[in-house]
Amino acid sequence: MQYKITGTTRLGGLLGSPVSHSLSPAMHNEAFQELGIDFVYLAFDVPEYNLRDVVRSLKEFNTYGFNLTMPDKTEVIEYLDDLSEEAALIGAVNTVVNRNGKLTGYNTDGKGYTESVKERGVRIDGAEVTLLGAGGAARAAAVQLALDGASVLHIANRRSGHSWEAAQRLTDVINSKTHCKADLTALEDRRSLADKISSSALLTNATSAGMSPDTDVSPVNDPDVFHRGLVVSDIIYNPAETKLMRQAEERGCQAFNGMYMLLHQGAAAFRLWTGRNMPVEKIRQKYF
């Protein structure tokens, strides 16, 4: 199908640096075409020092909105008019909607994550979850798990790592701003970690341990933690099967990667911009 740009086509896109590898332009443009929506989505290489001017221009250009990736997700907050609940709690924005010149920031990364979990048949409402990591992706997943009704969240990070203080802040935010009860464990404390996982229904790896090229690394060293009924979710998608997923599957646990988190965060942004559902199955088959 030929893409038609007209005098009424509205612009949006992805801001970050680098962005040329992103799947988002293909995914969103395909969905706009499929639904006959007169929008176009491009990728713009925007380092932090250019962000303020770019955001101001996009507002002037009457864009429908835009996505943000590293390094712009936190910096953008000061140039926006309003923030959604989850974006305020996460402290980062990946989606901006422009409503008549008013820019509102959202974070659909966490929604993308919880949607990918729910489509595996895992119930989040009332669930006890162990989440590894406290970086950007972990914060988004943790906040959305809590907002979606997880009752207990065991957060674990390396005590020696540079995200330890962020892990403490994340635990405090979950406890003070949501109904979920959060606690923090050092990844090095293997006995305590095993104890937390033993009562969890879902184990989420939101660290980069095991990501290519370090594919022989797992954030969990004790195979006995993979109890019957535990679902293991790794938000890494490169490689498609991580060491953690192999360990879990060898113990009979269902395990899946972060590929569909990517798809669903895009679908949630698409819904915010257009009020329509992305044709997710078509996009999944073609690009994932």
Q: Is the distance from CB of 157 to CB of 132 less than 8 angstroms? A: yes
d(CA 286, CA 280): 10
Q: Residues 116 to 135: which contact ligand NAP by CB under 6 A?
A: 133-135
Task: Report the alpha-carbon distance of residue 156 to residue 267 in Å, rounded.
Answer: 29
User: In sequence order, what are the residues at sequence separation of 6 or more whose Cβ sits closer than 8 angstroms to the Cβ of residue 7?
Assistant: none
157, amino acid identity: N
> Is residue 153 a contact residue for ligand NAP (CB under 6 A)?
no
CB of 125 to ligand NAP, least distance (A): 22
Residue 118 buriedness (CB in 10 A; 0-12 / 13-18 / 19+): middle
Alpha-carbon distance of 263 to 124, in angstroms, equals 19
Question: Does the protein bind ligand NAP through residue 246 (CB under 6 A)?
Answer: no
211 touches ligand NAP (CB under 6 A): yes
Q: For residues 288 and 285, give the distance between their C-alpha atoms in angstroms, rounded to a whole number.
A: 6
Name the E strands within the chain.
10-16, 39-45, 65-68, 82-83, 95-99, 102-106, 128-132, 152-157, 181-186, 202-205, 231-234, 254-256
Of residues 243 and 253, the one with the C-beta less far from ligand NAP: 243
Compare residues 34 and 240 and give the one whose CB is closer to ligand NAP: 240
Q: Is 243 a catalytic residue?
A: no
Pick the catalytic residue from 73, 111, 196, 243: 73
Q: Write out the two tokens for 162.
A: 């540079």
The count of chain residues that interact with ligand NAP, using the rule CB under 6 A, is: 26
Distance CA(257)–CA(269), nearest Å, equals 21
Query: Any contact of residue 137 with ligand NAP (CB under 6 A)?
Result: yes
Report the C-alpha gap between 249 and 245 in whole angstroms.
6
Is 40 or 145 the residue whose CB approaches ligand NAP more closely?
A: 145
Choose, by CB under 6 A, the member of 13, 105, 258, 266 that binds ligand NAP: 258
In the shown chain, the binding pattern of residues 171 to 210 toward ligand NAP, with x for contact by CB under 6 A and - for none, equals ----------------x------------------xxxx-
Spatial separation of the C-alpha atoms in residues 219 and 217, rounded to whole Å: 7
CB of 264 vs ligand NAP, minimal distance in Å: 9
Q: Does 256 bind ligand NAP (CB under 6 A)?
A: no
| Contact residue for ligand NAP among 98, 104, 107, 163 (CB under 6 A) | 163
| Smaller CB separation from ligand NAP, 24 or 63 | 24
Label the pairing between strands 95-99 and 65-68.
antiparallel
- Smallest distance from ligand NAP to CB 133, Å: 4
Which one of 13, 110, 219, 266 is in contact with ligand NAP (CB under 6 A)?
A: 219
- Residue 150 binds ligand NAP (CB under 6 A): no
User: Toward ligand NAP, which CB reaches closer, 206 or 283?
Assistant: 206
235 binds ligand NAP (CB under 6 A): yes
Binding footprint of ligand NAP on the chain (CB under 6 A) = 109, 133-138, 157-158, 161-163, 187, 206-209, 211, 217, 219, 235-237, 258, 261-262
Q: What are the catalytic residues?
A: 73
